[in-house]
């Protein structure tokens, strides 16, 4: 259950999640991943907030600004337009003895629409002197003072969650359900991936099989998120994932190892497939429009005699230079 705490930058926080992971833990991506895995289910949306596109703070000030120079130093002006001589000026200059009279041609103005009217321009910028009819609402972040366009703000739903079916099986039987799908759309967790690596490595040694382990690193995704916002980040990751769905076979297994690294296990894949895989990943990388994000591909071969019963240690040594 999320709680609102106005002094926090993100406005909402999850006390139970902070008990487990600490206050610096970012819950948004965690909830997305755990919901996909089946560990969490969304109950309802309790609120929807807007966050600064630069620092993701929810402390925002909505201000009316000049359409041209973006200054907040604007004033509302009441002007009149004399039909007789065409003079336009501030309304107070037309008032004489509680009646309206043009200060230029001295015509008495009795009926609006007949003798005079009000110009469309109702505001004036004190900085650039522009007169305009409608101000533009912009949003200044009170945390980093970045000026946001309203369209740039990150819209984030604040959801309440409950445990999913995966957790119920874990609580009742002490293990995950055995019918879990092993595919890119059904990501398996790190522990399952570690156990699978040990098993398939032993199988490869005994039966002289060849398998490939791929590491796909999404470099620069944090910089992309800071520049274009969190929604664009999610859309980009979904797009890349859909491309990899076309690359993988039904028997290939995927683990989202961390926020930037995806590990793909491709059983019964010979060493000669290196070039084909590299070309396919290069095509996926070429479809990424932003220069901030690049894909780095790493390929390791199995069996590996150094992989014994601790895949986590073996992978840590393998990934330390990435």
**Cα–Cα distance measured from residue 244 to residue 184, given in angstroms and rounded to the nearest whole number:** 8
| Amino acid 184: pLDDT | 45
Say if CB 256 and CB 187 are below 8 A apart. yes
Q: Is 140 left (phi over 0), alpha (psi -120 to 50) or beta?
A: beta
pLDDT at residue 185 in the model: 47
CB atoms within 10 A of CB 138: 19
Cβ 80 vs Cβ 194: under 8 Å: no
What pLDDT shows up at residue 271? 79
Q: Give 12's strand partners.
A: 4
Q: Per-residue b/e over 28-61, b at no fewer than 16 CB within 10 Å? A: beebeebeebbbbeeeeeeeebbbbbbebbbbbe
Q: How far apart are CA 249 and CA 211, in angstroms?
A: 13
User: φ, ψ for residue 309 (rounded to 5)?
Assistant: -105, 0
Full DSSP string of 149-199: EGGGSEEEEEEEEEE-HHHHHHHHHSS--TT---SSSS---HHHHHHHHHH
Name beta bridge partners: 256: 262
Tell me the mean pLDDT per 10 residues along the chain, length 322.
89 88 74 80 92 91 91 84 82 80 84 78 84 88 93 91 76 51 52 87 89 86 76 74 71 77 86 82 78 85 87 87 75
The C-alpha atoms of residue 194 and residue 188 are separated, in whole angstroms, by 10
For residues 298, 302, 306, 309, the Cα torsion angle rounded to the nearest 10 degrees is: 110
Q: Domains (ranges, CATH) in the chain?
A: 1-59+142-177 (no CATH), 64-139 (no CATH), 181-322 (3.30.70.270)
The Cα 202–Cα 313 span in angstroms is 16
**ω into 6 cis (within 30 of 0):** no
Output the DSSP codes for 95-113: EETTEEB-TTT--B--SBT
- What sign results for the dihedral spanned by CA atoms 118, 121, 124, 129? negative
User: Residue 316: what pLDDT?
Assistant: 87
Closest CA to 88 of 112, 113, 124, 119: 119
**CA 118, 124, 128: angle at the middle one, nearest 5?**
145
The helix (run of H) or strand (run of E) holding residue 236 is helix 230-247
């Amino acid at each position: 259950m999320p709680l609102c705490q106005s002094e926090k930058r993100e406005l909402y926080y999850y006390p139970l999640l902070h008990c487990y992971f600490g206050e610096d833990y970012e819950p948004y991506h965690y909830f997305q991943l755990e919901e996909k895995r089946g560990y969490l289910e969304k109950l309802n949306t309790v609120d929807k907030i807007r966050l600064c596109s630069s620092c993701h703070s929810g402390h925002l000030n909505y201000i009316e600004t000049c359409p041209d120079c973006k200054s907040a130093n604007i004033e509302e002006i009441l002007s009149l337009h004399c039909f007789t001589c065409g003079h336009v000026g501030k309304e107070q200059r037309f008032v004489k003895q509680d009646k309206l009279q043009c200060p230029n041609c001295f015509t008495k103005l009795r009926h609006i629409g007949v003798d005079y009217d009000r110009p469309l321009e109702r505001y004036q910028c004190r900085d650039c002197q522009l007169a305009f009819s409608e101000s533009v609402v912009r949003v200044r972040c009170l945390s980093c003072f970045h000026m946001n366009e309203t369209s740039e703000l990150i819209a984030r739903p604040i959801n309440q969650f409950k445990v999913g079916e995966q957790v119920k099986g874990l609580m009742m039987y002490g293990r995950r359900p055995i019918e879990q799908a092993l595919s890119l759309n059904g990501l398996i967790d790190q522990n399952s991936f570690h156990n699978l690596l040990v098993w398939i490595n032993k199988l490869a040694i005994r039966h002289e099989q060849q398998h490939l382990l791929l590491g796909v690193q999404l470099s620069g995704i944090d910089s992309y998120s800071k520049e274009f916002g969190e929604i664009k980040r999610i859309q980009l990751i979904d797009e890349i994932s859909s491309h990899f769905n076309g690359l993988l076979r039904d028997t290939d297994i995927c683990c989202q190892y961390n926020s930037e690294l995806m590990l793909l296990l491709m059983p019964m894949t010979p060493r000669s497939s290196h070039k084909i895989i590299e070309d396919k990943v290069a095509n996926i990388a070429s479809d990424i429009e932003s220069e901030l994000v690049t894909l780095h591909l790493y390929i390791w071969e199995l069996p590996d005699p150094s992989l014994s019963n601790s895949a986590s240690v073996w992978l840590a040594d393998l990934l330390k230079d990435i």
